Amino acid sequence: MRLTPVTWERLTEAVVDRVLELKPDDGGERPRVAIDGAPAARPDVLGEALAQALRLRGRPVVRVRAQTYWRPASQRYEPGRHDSDAYYERWLDNGALWREVFDPLAPGGTGRVLPSLRDPVTDRATRAGYEELPPGGVLLLEGALLQGYGFPFDLCIHLRMSGAALARRTPEDERWTLPAYARYEQETAPGESADVLVHTDDPRHPAWTG
């Protein structure tokens, strides 16, 4: 796989151009875009840049951070607070994401999306209101370990980091999650299934598949 150096500005512009041309395979009217990457790869930063650029081009955007769809702490921590297998397998409430995000964006859906469910820090409901995404609007789902659930992404961007870079850039108190990302690479091969692969070992000098 050939990677080409790129600036974040150029990458954002090129991805936006691609999103504007998307036609969902299932006949839906609202493209669904994933920005898949570990927290150290900062998928939220790219998500913010894409959202701003899309809005400047006249497209409504709803951003959803995957960590606001984590299960309650009582369920996440049942096997232990630092269980990497649980982090990989059961922290994300994929059923709630289907119900509150993907089903409303399916063909014939209402377009009413719940942008967040639960604050990952306080473990309390965010009480966010539903957002209406009109036809032509774009969903940006940002977060880690997003592939493998069968979510109907029309475009998936994977922010890849080598194991060494991920270990360097992950805070000490979060390094217990590193085995989960190793499993993700081995079992899901996210870089191969993504539509766009961005190598982010050095965030100042990304490279991508274009």
Domain CATH number, residue 53: 3.40.50.300
DSSP 168-200: HHS-GGGGGGHHHHHHHHHHH-HHHHSSEEEE-
165, 172 in Cβ contact below 8 A? no
DSSP 90-157: TSB-HHHHIIIIIHHHSTT---EE-S-SB-TTT-SB--PPPEE--TT-EEEEEESS-TTS----SEEE
* Number of domains present in the structure of the chain: 1
Q: Is 107 exposed, middle or buried (0-12, 13-18, 19+ CB in 10 A)?
A: exposed
pTM: 0.95
Which range of residues forms the domain containing residue 35?
A: 4-208
pLDDT (tens place) for every residue of the chain, 210 residues total: 788 999 999 999 999 999 999 999 899 999 999 999 999 999 999 999 999 999 999 999 999 999 999 999 999 999 999 999 999 999 999 999 999 999 999 999 999 999 999 999 999 999 999 999 999 999 999 999 999 999 999 999 999 999 999 999 999 999 999 999 999 999 999 999 999 999 999 999 999 998
- Per-residue pLDDT of 87-123, as tens digits, reads 999 999 999 999 999 999 999 999 999 999 999 999 9
